[in-house]
Amino acid sequence: MDIPPGGRGDGDPLAAAAPRGLVIADDLAEGVLAVDPGNTIVFANAAAHRILERRPASLPGGSAMEAFIDHRAEDLVVAARRQGSAAGDLPPRISDGRWLGLRARRSADGIVWIVVEDVTELRRLQRIRAEFLDNLSHELRTPVTNVNLLLEMLMRDAEALPPRTRERLERLQVEAAQLAQMVSELLDLASIEGGQPLLLADVDLADLSREQAERLRVYAERNGVAIVVEAPETGPIVRGDATRLGQAILNLVHNAVKFSEPGDTVTVRVDASAEAATVVVADEGAGIPRADRDRVFERFYKVDRARRRGQGGTGLGLSIVRHVVHAHGGTIRVESEEGVGSTFTVALPIAAPAAGGSAP
C-alpha cells in the first residue's frame, strides 16, 4: 500500500509558509523536514525526498505519517512537540530493508524539525561489532573458566610445591580471575548494547541499593572501608530491569570501595524529586583528575593503570553503568576532586504514580 504524496509545487500557500533561510538545506546529505503545529509538512529538502524515495517537491503538504508510512514517525513528532526533542530508529520497510534514523526537535515557533538519515550501514556495522564481541566472549568463557578451575585444583596441592612455584601459581590465579571478570563484563556489555529488551518491573531503589551495599560489605570490611546507606524505608519506584539496575549500583559501590583507603567511608544515598529518583554513591578516596572525568565511562578506560597496585579492574564497569542508566532513560554524572573523593549521581525517571503492578 502506498499513500499518495500530498505535496504541491511552487506557488502553493504551503510553500509560502515554509520556514525561510533554508537555501543551503539542499546541499545537506541528511534529510530535513519541518512539520507545522497542524501536523503538515511545510518544508522538505532534496535529501529528504531522496531518502524517502519521493518525487522532488512532493513531500510538503502531507503529514509525517504519509512521508514515512510509519506511525512511529508521527509519534516522534508528537513527543518532540511535547518534550522539546525526540529521537529513534524506524525499522526497515519490507520493500527496501533500510533503517532510518530520525531526530526531531521543536523550534520556538512551534515547528518540529526532523533530521532523517539512512543508518542501515551504521546499524549493520554496530550489529557486527556487537555479535563479534558476543561470540568472542562466549568462545573465551569456557577455556577461561577451565583455566580457573584447574588453577584452583593445583592450589589445593600447593603446600607440596616449592615456594617460588606456589608464588607464580598465585599470580597466575590473579591474572586468570581478571580474565574471567573481563569476559563476563564483555558479555554483559554485549547483551546490554545488543538492545536486549529490558525486563520491566517496578523497582524500589532504596531496597535495591541496600541489597547491593550488603553484597559488598565483607569486601569493604576487608579493606577497612565503611559503607553507609542513607535511604528511606520505602524508596522511590522506577520502572526498569532490577538485575541490570542492581548491577549498575553494585559497580559504582564496588569502585567507591576499591578506590578508598582504610578508614574511609562510602555513602550510598537514595533520594527523589517529582520527576527523578537519584542514587548517589560518594567516596573519600583517590578522586579522578579533571582530564579523565569524562573518559572514565568509555570502555577499557582506566585513569592510571599503575595506580591500583594489582587491584585489577577491567575498565568496563562504568561503561556498563552508563549503558544501563541510558537504557532506562536516565543520566549519570560524576563530581570529583583528587585526594578528596568522588561522587557519582545516577538520576532515573520516576515511575508514574499510575504505573501500578509489575510486568513479568
Contact 240, 201 (CB under 8 A): yes
Size of the site for ligand ADP (CB under 6 A): 21
Contact 18, 11 (CB under 8 A): no
Question: By CB under 6 A, is residue 227 in contact with ligand ADP?
Answer: no
Q: Least distance to ligand ADP from the beta carbon of 344, Å? A: 7
Strands 237-240 and 201-204: antiparallel
Question: By CB under 6 A, is residue 286 in contact with ligand ADP?
Answer: yes
Contact 43, 59 (CB under 8 A): no
| Nearest residue (beta carbon) to ligand ADP | 317
Q: Least distance to ligand ADP from the beta carbon of 230, Å? A: 18
Question: By CB under 6 A, is residue 313 in contact with ligand ADP?
Answer: yes
- Interaction residues for ligand ADP, span 230-269 (CB under 6 A): 251, 255-256, 259
Question: By CB under 6 A, is residue 314 in contact with ligand ADP?
Answer: yes
Going by the DSSP 8-state scheme, the letter that residue 86 receives in this structure is E
Selected from 5, 61, 236, 285, the binder of ligand ADP by CB under 6 A is: 285
* 50 φ, ψ (degrees, to nearest 5): -70, -50
Question: By CB under 6 A, is residue 271 in contact with ligand ADP?
Answer: no
Question: By CB under 6 A, is residue 212 in contact with ligand ADP?
Answer: no
Selected from 207, 315, 335, 345, the binder of ligand ADP by CB under 6 A is: 315
On the 0-12 / 13-18 / 19+ scale of CB atoms within 10 A, 249 is: buried
Q: Least distance to ligand ADP from the beta carbon of 242, Å? A: 21
Q: Least distance to ligand ADP from the beta carbon of 57, Å? A: 51
Question: By CB under 6 A, is residue 137 in contact with ligand ADP?
Answer: no
Selected from 34, 116, 189, 296, the binder of ligand ADP by CB under 6 A is: 296
Closer residue to ligand ADP (CB): 212 or 342: 342
The window from 8-16, 35-43, 207-215, 285-293 that contacts ligand ADP (CB under 6 A) reads 285-293
- Interaction residues for ligand ADP, span 325-344 (CB under 6 A): 342
Closer residue to ligand ADP (CB): 25 or 252: 252
Strands 331-337 and 31-35: unpaired
Question: By CB under 6 A, is residue 114 in contact with ligand ADP?
Answer: no
Could you tell me the CA-to-CA distances from 192 to 35, 87, 252, 324 in Å, in that order?
Answer: 34, 19, 17, 7
The residue to which cell 532504596 is assigned: 206
Q: Could you please report the per-residue DSSP string of 17-83?
A: HSPS--GGGGG-SSEEEEE-TTS-EEEE-HHHHHHTT--TT-STTS-HHHHHT-HHHHHHHHHHHHH
Q: Minimal CA–CA distance to 299: which of 145, 148, 130, 143? A: 130
Torsion region of 97: left, alpha or beta (phi above 0 gives left; psi -120 to 50 gives alpha): left
CB atoms within 10 A of CB 330: 21
Q: Least distance to ligand ADP from the beta carbon of 142, Å? A: 23
Q: Give contact residues for ligand ADP (rule: CB under 6 A).
A: 251, 255-256, 259, 283, 285-288, 296, 301-303, 313-319, 342
